[in-house]
A and B are shown apart, each in its own frame.
Chain A
Amino acid sequence: MKGLWVKDLLVLKKQKLAVVLMFILAICSLAIFGRIGIMVGMSVFLMVVSMVVLTALTVDQQNHGLMYLLTLPIKKRQYVVQKYVLLLLATICSTVVMTIIAGIFAAVADWDVGFSDIFTRVYSVGVAMLSILILTMQYQIKHGPEKAQVAMSIIGAIVAIAIGGVVALVKYTSFGEEIFNRLYMYYIEHGSLLILVFFTVAGAAVVSLSCAKSIKTIESMEIQ
């Protein structure tokens, strides 16, 4: 298993340019969109992180590489768990880094946003994005990188439509507006703790179920 970590770190090291790009895009988002940029920036940040992390899986799957890797002293289950942990760690690091960047930006630009508010926004986007990425990874483990790219685009489009739908509901219907106001009031009165707990439980459920499904998939699939 240690070998897998070393291999992935070596592959990730080759993606330095993507990491630089990630920082530039995150800072640009904050500069252009202001406070909304915290969530936009985190989305962009995680998009780049996901591409970098999924590259580690793609590299394994290209040229029948997985077949060779699984002849090493590594169990199929360990392989899957390592990839999930890698994505989880990358998301946690992204959340911490984006929170710090946004915090610094808020202090410098003198935004009226507290640190816990920044963290809640970054964390919520992080968990939501993680769920999408986890599903993409699950799909990629089963079907390979090419199909996973298509799947990721479709998932991205569905999410964009869903977000657009929610915004439209809130903006153009009294029903949507009422629900949004209630949620917002709840957030003002009780703080972000329950929201964070909800996102954490939901995220943990998605990660666990997806990981279990991927283990089952790789145990039964023909490696070639």
Chain B
Amino acid sequence: MLEVKDLKKKYNNFQLDCSFRIEEDQVVGLVGRNGVGKTTLFRSILGLLRPDEGEINLFGRSVAHLTEADKARIGVTFPHSFFSEQLTIAEIKQVMIATYSAQFNAAEFDQKCNRLQLPLDKKVKNFSTGMQTKLKLLLAMSHEADFLLLDEPTSGLDVIVRNEILGMLQDYLDQKNNRSVLISSHISSDLEQLCDFIILIDDGKIILQEETDNLLNHYGILKVSEQEYSSLEQEFILAAKKRSYGYACLTNERRYYQENYPKIAIEKGSIDEVLMLLAKGEEQ
């Protein structure tokens, strides 16, 4: 579905440099702190900026040459970019009908707006953040898109709305096969339950690409004293950072250490913890 190959984009003191693929029927989570290049990557995929080097192919075609029909197969949400806030949902619906023709199911859209308590005749500027986010996602999913690019769709939302959003997305994926999603978030717990694959990005570079199940089942965090650290088998240690108690070490062979070092405190690391250990800085 999507292939990003040796993509490079340089700004003053930042360089995006990454490669990855997303297959059909795959949900990929892009996790990273704010400002590490997630939105730059999204904009590159959507042809909104020109990479300095590399290739991006979507639906087997370079994104620079996507046709209107190809673009109609993409659904997008951005946290800070949308239709004019002066428009109402009823007006946006007219624009969507004119844009996507028969692909846009107006009756179903109305029904969903009703279910999500989104008023059709109120200007978007009067919506809460949660309502705006629901509307953005609803629109991205309203025209039978095969590929969703969701940039921080749960940012700034409370737990209840976040779960509602993730539920909407899960329903969409369950409706039809071959739908793929690239979703970014700095709240990794949202992605653990939804994604098949996780990409961790830091300072413009991919620092880890792993299946979510693998990440949650085989990765672990070893919390060891300095003495224990020096006697620890280093072969399966991916990263280590100094902490007040000694070292926190990331491994992708949790069971190995559980079996061979039974006295060491070993935790099942969350995606956030994995990111913190792999990311630059953060020494304590």
Interface of A with B (CB < 8 Å)? 2-3, 5-7, 10-11, 14, 59-60, 62-65, 67-75, 220, 222-224
Q: Given the complex, which residues of B lie within 8 Å of A11, measured CB to CB? A: 84, 86-87
- Offer 6 A-B interface pairs, CB within 8 angstroms, sorted by A: A3-B98, A11-B84, A59-B84, A63-B81, A64-B78, A71-B71
Of B48, B83, B94, B149, which contacts A70 at CB under 8 A?
B48
Contact pick for A62, options B50, B84, B87, CB 8 Å: B84
Chain B residues with CB under 8 A of A74: 68, 71, 99
- B82's partner among A3, A65, A73 (CB-CB below 8 A) is A65
**Other 8 A-B pairs with CB < 8 A, given A68-B76, A68-B83, A69-B83:** A3-B95, A7-B87, A67-B78, A71-B71, A74-B68, A74-B99, A75-B68, A224-B43
> For residue B84, which residues in chain A have a CB less than 8 angstroms away from its CB?
7, 11, 59-60, 62-63, 65
B81 interface neighbour in A3, A6, A14, A68, Cβ under 8 Å: A68
Cβ contacts B61-97/A at 8 Å (1 or 0 each): 0000000110110101010111111110001001111
Contacts of B50 in A (CB 8 A): 220, 222
Task: Please determine whether A73 and B48 come into contact, CB atoms closer than 8 angstroms.
Answer: no
Check if B91 sits within 8 Å of A10, measured CB to CB.
Answer: yes
Cross-chain contact A7 with B81 (CB below 8 angstroms): no
**B49 lies within 8 A of chain A by Cβ:** yes
Cβ of B92 to closest chain A Cβ, rounded Å: 9
- Does B100 reach chain A (CB closer than 8 Å)? yes
A222 CB to closest chain B CB (Å) equals 4
What is the count of residue pairs linking A and B with beta-carbon distances less than 8 angstroms? Answer: 83
B75: nearest residue on chain A (CB-CB)? A71
Whether a CB of chain A sits under 8 angstroms from the CB of B46 is yes
Closest chain-A Cβ to B89's Cβ sits at a distance in Å of 12
Q: Of A63, A71, A222, which contacts B76 at CB under 8 A?
A: A71
> A80 CA to B96 CA in the complex, in Å?
19
> How many residues on the B side are at the interface (Cβ–Cβ under 8 A)?
30
Minimum Cβ distance to chain A for residue B144 (Å): 13
Given A63-B80, A73-B72, also A14-B86 (CB < 8 A): yes
Determine the chain B residues whose CB is within 8 A of the CB of A64 once the complex forms.
78, 80-81
- Chain B residues with CB under 8 Å of chain A are 43, 46-50, 68-69, 71-72, 74, 76, 78, 80-87, 91, 94-100, 149
Q: Verify A72–B99 contact, CB threshold 8 A.
A: yes
The chain B residue sitting closest to A220, CB to CB, is B50
List of A residues within 8 angstroms of B78 by Cβ: 64, 67-68
Contact B49 A223 (CB under 8 A): yes
Question: Do B86 and A67 touch (CB < 8 A)?
Answer: no
Least CB distance from A6 to B in Å reads 4
Q: Which residues of the partner chain A approach B87 to less than 8 Å between Cβ atoms?
A: 7, 10-11
Residue in B46, B47, B76, B99 whose CB lies within 8 Å of A3: B99
Q: Which residues of A contact B91 (CB under 8 A)?
A: 10
In this complex, what residue of B is CB-closest to A78?
B68
A3, B103: Cα distance in complex, Å: 13
Are B82 and A72 interface neighbours, CB within 8 A? no
Chain A, residue nearest B71 (CB): A73
Q: How far is the CB of A115 from chain B (nearest CB, A)?
A: 38
| A-side contacts of B86, CB under 8 Å | 11, 14, 59
Q: Which 3 A-B pairs have the closest CB atoms?
A: A3-B99, A64-B81, A223-B48
Q: In the complex, A217→B83 CA distance in Å?
A: 22
Q: How far is the CA of A71 from the CA of B46 in the complex (A)?
A: 7
CB distance from A58 to the nearest CB of B (A): 9
- A62 — nearest CB in chain B belongs to which residue? B84
Q: Are A6 and B80 in contact (CB under 8 A)?
A: no
CA distance A69 to B91 in the complex (A): 15
Contact of A2 among B49, B74, B99 (CB under 8 A): B99
Given A11-B86, A64-B80, A220-B50, CB of A2 within 8 Å of CB of B98? yes
CB nearest to A71 among chain B residues? B76
Tell me, rounded to whole Å, the shortest Cβ–Cβ distance linking A62 to chain B: 7
Q: Tell me, rounded to whole Å, the shortest Cβ–Cβ distance linking B135 to chain A.
A: 12
A222 touches B81 (CB 8 A): no
For the complex formed, measure the closest distance between the CB of A223 and the CB atoms of chain B, giving whole angstroms: 4
Cα distance, A11 to B82, chains bound together (Å): 15
Minimum CB–CB distance from A53 to chain B (whole Å) comes to 15
User: Are A223 and B99 in contact, CB atoms less than 8 angstroms apart?
Assistant: no
User: CA separation between A72 and B82, bound complex, in Å?
Assistant: 11
